[in-house]
Structure 1
Amino acid sequence: MSFQICSLHLPNETSHPKGSASMRCMLLTASAVLCFGSCLAQAQGTDSRKPADDSFGPGHRYGQTEAPDRTPGTLRIASYNVLNYFDDVDDPELSGEWDDKDLASTAEQLQALASSIRETDADVIALQEVESRAALIRFRDQYLSDLGYQHVGSLDAGYYRGVEQSVLSRIPITSISNWPGLSTADVRRVGPGFQPVPKNPVVAFQRSPLMVDLRTEDGYEFTLLVVHLKAGGKSHAYRREAEGLKLLELVTQMERDDPERNIVVLGDFNAKYSYKSMRLLFEGGLVDTMQCRATEPSDEDTPLWVTHESGRTLDYILLNSAMYNEFVPGSSFVLGTLYPGDSSHYNWRTEDPPAGHASDHYPVAIEIIPVD
Structure 2
Amino acid sequence: ALQDLNNRSRIQLDDGSSTSNPMPLPPYLGAGNTLRTGDSVAGVTGVLSFGFGSYEIHPTQPVTFTRDNVRPDVPDVGGRLQVAAYNVLNYFTTIDNAGPICGPLGNQGCRGADTAAEFARQRDKLITAISTLDADVVGLMEIENHPGDVPTADLVAGLNAATAPGTYDFVATGAVGTDAIRQAILYKPASVTPVGGFEVLDSSDNPLFDDARNRPMVVQTFTENATGAVFTVAVNHLKSKGSNCNAVGDPDTGDGQGNCNLTRTTAAQAIVDYLATDPTGSGDGDVLIIGDLNAYAMEDPITTIEAGGYTDLIESFVGTGFNAGAYSFNFFSQSGYLDHGLASPSILSQVSGADFWHVNADEPRGLDYNDFNQPGLYNPDEFRSSDHDPVVIGLELDTPMSLKLETIDELSALLPTGNTTDDKFIQKAIDRIDQSLNPAWWVDLATLDPGTGGQVFDREHQAVQELQKVNNVDVQSAIDQIVEADRLLAQRQLDAAIAAGGDAKDIAKAQGNIADAVANAASGNYAKAVLDYKKAWQNAVKAL
Question: What TM-score do the two structures reach when normalised by structure 1?
Answer: 0.69
Give the C-alpha shift of residue 142 in structure 1. Answer: 2.1
Contact persistence 1:184–1:246 (CA under 8 A): yes
Give the match for residue 128 of structure 2. Answer: 115
Work out whether 1:334 is the aligned partner of 2:356. yes
Give the match for residue 150 of structure 2. Answer: 134
Change (3 A) 1:48 1:252: same
Change (3 A) 1:245 1:219: same
Could you list the structure 1 runs, at least 4 aligned residues long, displaced by more than 3 angstroms after superposition.
53-57, 59-64, 68-71, 88-97, 99-105, 147-150, 179-187, 202-205, 257-260, 345-354
Give the match for residue 295 of structure 1. Answer: 320
Q: Name the SS for the 2:260 alignment partner.
A: helix
Work out whether 1:358 is the aligned partner of 2:385. yes
Work out whether 1:210 is the aligned partner of 2:232. no
Matches within 5 A, 1:1-372: 49-52=38-41, 65-69=72-76, 71=78, 74-88=80-94, 93=104, 95-99=106-110, 106-131=119-144, 132=146, 133-145=149-161, 146=163, 148-155=166-173, 156-161=175-180, 163-170=181-188, 171-174=192-195, 175-182=197-204, 184-185=206-207, 206-217=214-225, 218-232=227-241, 234-254=258-278, 260-292=284-316, 293-296=318-321, 301-302=323-324, 304-310=325-331, 311-328=335-352, 331-338=353-360, 339-341=362-364, 355-356=378-379, 357-372=384-399
Contact persistence 2:239–2:294 (CA under 8 A): yes
Contact persistence 2:201–2:274 (CA under 8 A): no
Residue 127 of structure 1 aligns with an amino acid whose one-letter code is: L
User: C-alpha separation between the residues in 2 aligned to 1:60 and 1:231?
Assistant: 32
Residue 355 of structure 1 aligns with an amino acid whose one-letter code is: Y
Give the C-alpha shift of residue 179 in structure 1. Answer: 3.5
Which range moved further: 231-240 or 207-216? 231-240
Q: Name the SS for the 1:281 alignment partner.
A: helix
Tell me which structure has the larger Cα radius of gyration. Answer: 2
Give the C-alpha shift of residue 260 in structure 1. Answer: 4.0
Residue 237 of structure 2 aligns with an amino acid whose one-letter code is: H
User: C-alpha separation between the residues in 1 aligned to 2:68 and 2:179?
Assistant: 33
Change (3 A) 1:152 1:294: same
User: C-alpha separation between the residues in 1 aligned to 2:329 and 2:155?
Assistant: 23
Contact persistence 2:90–2:112 (CA under 8 A): no
Seq. identity, %: 19
Higher relative helix content? 2
User: C-alpha separation between the residues in 1 aligned to 2:211 and 2:151?
Assistant: 30
Change (3 A) 1:237 1:350: farther
Give the match for residue 199 of structure 1. Answer: none
Q: Name the SS for the 1:290 alignment partner.
A: helix
Contact persistence 2:89–2:112 (CA under 8 A): no
Contact persistence 2:77–2:355 (CA under 8 A): no
User: C-alpha separation between the residues in 2 aligned to 1:154 and 1:60?
Assistant: 43
- Segments of structure 1 that go 5 or more residues without pairing to the other structure are 1-46, 188-201
Q: CA RMSD in A?
A: 3.8
Change (3 A) 1:62 1:350: farther
Give the C-alpha shift of residue 205 in structure 1. Answer: 5.4
Residue 221 of structure 2 aligns with an amino acid whose one-letter code is: D
Q: Name the SS for the 1:235 alignment partner.
A: coil
The number of residues matched between the two structures is: 302
- For each residue in 1:315-347, what CA deviation from the matched residue of structure 2 results, as whole angstroms up to 9, or x when unmatched? 01111011112111xx212112244438xx799
User: C-alpha separation between the residues in 1 aligned to 2:321 and 2:393?
Assistant: 22
User: C-alpha separation between the residues in 1 aligned to 2:308 and 2:168?
Assistant: 34
Residue 167 of structure 1 aligns with an amino acid whose one-letter code is: I
User: C-alpha separation between the residues in 2 aligned to 1:95 and 1:208?
Assistant: 19
Q: Name the SS for the 2:132 alignment partner.
A: helix
Contact persistence 2:357–2:389 (CA under 8 A): yes
* More contact order relative to length (CA 8 Å, sep ≥ 6): 1
Change (3 A) 1:231 1:101: closer
Q: Name the SS for the 2:141 alignment partner.
A: strand
User: C-alpha separation between the residues in 1 aligned to 2:337 and 2:112?
Assistant: 32
- Segments of structure 2 that go 5 or more residues without pairing to the other structure are 1-35, 45-56, 58-62, 96-100, 243-257, 400-544
Give the C-alpha shift of residue 121 in structure 1. Answer: 1.2
User: C-alpha separation between the residues in 2 aligned to 1:363 and 1:287?
Assistant: 18
Question: What TM-score do the two structures reach when normalised by structure 2?
Answer: 0.49
Change (3 A) 1:336 1:253: same
Q: Name the SS for the 1:172 alignment partner.
A: strand
User: C-alpha separation between the residues in 1 aligned to 2:102 and 2:386?
Assistant: 22
Q: Name the SS for the 1:333 alignment partner.
A: strand
Residue 98 of structure 1 aligns with an amino acid whose one-letter code is: G
User: C-alpha separation between the residues in 1 aligned to 2:72 and 2:367?
Assistant: 21
Change (3 A) 1:114 1:206: same
